[in-house]
Amino acid sequence: MYSPDPTRYDAPQIYRRCGRSGLRLPLISLGLWHNFGAQDSYDNARAMVCRAFDLGITHFDLANNYGPPDGAAETTFARILHADLLKWRDELIISTKAGYYMWPGPYGEWGSRKYLLSSLDQSLKRMRLDYVDIFYSHRPDPDTPLEETMGALAQAVRSGKALYAGISNYKPAETGRAAIILRELGTPCLIHQPRYSMLDRWVEPELLATLEREGIGSIVFSPLAKGLLTDRYFKGIPADSRAGHDRRFLRPDDVTDAVLAKTRQLNNLALSRGQTLAQMALAWVLRHPCVTSALIGASRPSQVEDCFAATKNLKFSTEELSQIDKILA
Ligand code: NDP
């Protein structure tokens, strides 16, 4: 029987307000993209979610297509939730998304009202939930009017199947337009989920400025560059690492000498700050006040712990920041 750590809320500074909303999110959130599929160890998945909640990590991020196979992460999460966490449902922020391919035919991906609302119903069914906390349009659809996609998110909120609307992977101009439409519909955009890490700085400065102006929070995904911004690959490619065993999105070829040359230097700087490289990489994305949360993935509970400990040192001196810029240049 799981019983959460009673001290999990003893550090209120680990929560940050999401844009101009009433919702606060933990500085570190846990994503279930990898390691929660049908073939992954259930015990390990459960241990990661429970350890996260023990630490005060209240936010778990999913999408319709996380697995493999598609939908499996929601099914795994449902099993954990209903076995261990249901009593604490009101303490959890559960998100899901729709946008990528889910089922055949013209209604199984992108941004139509038909797809988004059907997919949300399917996600709720898989998770055995009445509502999710955040429902996202996972990617912009160049062929569907933005009004329709945002209208579907607004409908999800109005129907009570989602509490808040979010967007992911939207460029600055699309984000500005989406923000206006959602505000006019009375269901303001809570959050944007873009990719952001020391190795991928596309959100700077325009998207972050747009989010700040519109009062939208952000949760940045792959802040560890899928594991490259950790000590994982310093001694070769471990068989149990993402590049070692799950090559769908990170291949051994991605672990280049050029990347390693940078990450080794960053690692030295992290050590001088009394942090692991992963912790410094997370603190670095969180240096922007408009980045509400860093959305990590993990393959074991000890990684969740290591990442969470980033919250102990979020400050950077001007000199450290310029050293990082130099290494990354
Ligand atoms: P990260 O950049 O955090 O990479 C996670 C990987 O880094 C882990 O699987 C692990 O690799 C390694 N790692 C994590 N912590 C440590 C540590 N302390 N020490 C050493 N290695 C560590 O994020 P992800 O790419 O996994 O993405 C995170 C989440 O973002 C996803 O689960 C999903 O929720 C969301 N996401 C959203 C997208 C979108 O389009 N909106 C797209 C992609 C992700 P290993 O497995 O090798 O141990």
pTM greater than the 0.85 cutoff: yes
Degrees to nearest 5, angle at CA 92 with 88 and 96: 135
**What letter would DSSP give residue 222?**
-
Here the tokens at position 101 are: 């391919």
In angstroms, rounded to a whole number, what is the distance separating the alpha carbons of residues 240 and 81?
26
The alpha carbon of 299 and the centre of ligand 1 are apart by a number of angstroms equal to: 8
pLDDT tens digit sequence for 55-86 = 999 999 999 999 999 999 999 999 999 999 99
Q: Which of 280, 303, 304 to mutate to test the pocket of ligand 1 (most atoms within 8 A of CB)?
A: 303
Here the tokens at position 82 are: 């209903």
In angstroms, rounded to a whole number, what is the distance separating the alpha carbons of residues 75 and 83?
12
Over residues 245-252, the mean pLDDT reads: 89
pLDDT tens digit sequence for 263-310 = 999 999 999 999 999 999 999 999 999 999 999 999 999 999 999 999
Give Cα separations from 18 to 104, 271, 289, 313 (angstroms): 35, 30, 10, 21
- The rounded percent of the chain whose pLDDT value lies above 70 is 100
Give ligand 1 pocket residues (Cβ under 6 A). Answer: 31-34, 61, 138, 168-169, 193, 221-227, 230, 232, 241-242, 278, 295-299, 303, 306-307
Phi then psi for residue 98, to 5 deg, are: -140, 140
Ligand 1 atom nearest to 136, measured from its CA: 41
- Look up tokens 């329709």; give the residue: 148
Which protein residue's CA is at the shortest distance from atom 11 of ligand 1?
227
Q: Which of 48, 133, 141, 222 to mutate to test the pocket of ligand 1 (most atoms within 8 A of CB)?
A: 222
Average per-residue pLDDT in the chain?
A: 98
pLDDT tens digit sequence for 146-182 = 999 999 999 999 999 999 999 999 999 999 999 999 9
Q: Which residues have C-beta within 8 Å of that of residue 113, sequence separation ≥ 6?
A: 148, 149, 151, 152, 155
- What type of residue is 103? W
Q: Indicate the helix (H) or strand (E) that contains 166.
A: strand 162-168
Cβ-contact 9, 59 below 8 angstroms = no
The alpha carbon of 225 and the centre of ligand 1 are apart by a number of angstroms equal to: 7
pLDDT tens digit sequence for 201-213 = 999 999 999 999 9
Degrees to nearest 5, angle at CA 121 with 118 and 124: 150
The alpha carbon of 48 and the centre of ligand 1 are apart by a number of angstroms equal to: 13
Here the tokens at position 189 are: 């955009």
Bridge partner list, 94? 60
Query: Counting Cβ atoms within 10 Å, is residue 287 exposed (0-12), middle (13-18) or buried (19+)?
Result: exposed
The alpha carbon of 290 and the centre of ligand 1 are apart by a number of angstroms equal to: 21
- What type of residue is 206? E
Q: Under DSSP, is residue 167 helix (H, G, I), strand (E, B) or coil?
A: strand
Q: Which residues have C-beta within 8 Å of that of residue 65, sequence separation ≥ 6?
A: 71, 100, 101, 102
Note the pLDDT of residue 308. 98
Which protein residue's CA is at the shortest distance from atom 20 of ligand 1?
230
Which protein residue's CA is at the shortest distance from atom 44 of ligand 1?
221
List for the chain the helix, strand, coil content (%; round to 5).
45, 15, 40
Q: Which of 224, 280, 284 to mutate to test the pocket of ligand 1 (most atoms within 8 A of CB)?
A: 224
The alpha carbon of 177 and the centre of ligand 1 are apart by a number of angstroms equal to: 29
Note the pLDDT of residue 142. 98
Residue 135: CB atoms within 10 Å: 27
The alpha carbon of 228 and the centre of ligand 1 are apart by a number of angstroms equal to: 10
In angstroms, rounded to a whole number, what is the distance separating the alpha carbons of residues 74 and 51?
18
- What type of residue is 72? A
In angstroms, rounded to a whole number, what is the distance separating the alpha carbons of residues 78 and 86?
9
Packing angle between helix 257-272 and helix 277-285, nearest 10 degrees? 90
Which protein residue's CA is at the shortest distance from atom 34 of ligand 1?
31
Cβ-contact 59, 95 below 8 angstroms = yes
The alpha carbon of 254 and the centre of ligand 1 are apart by a number of angstroms equal to: 15
Ligand 1 atom nearest to 228, measured from its CA: 7
pLDDT tens digit sequence for 282-293 = 999 999 999 999
Note the pLDDT of residue 247. 82
Q: How confident is the model at residue 246 (pLDDT cuts 50, 70, 90)?
A: confident
Q: Indicate the helix (H) or strand (E) that contains 60.
A: strand 59-61
Instruction: Output the DSSP codes for 262-322.
Output: HHHHHHHHHHHTT--HHHHHHHHHTTSTT--EEEE--SSHHHHHHHHGGGG-----HHHHH
Note the pLDDT of residue 193. 99
Task: Give all domains of the chain, ordered by start, each with its CATH number.
Answer: 18-227+290-315 (3.20.20.100)
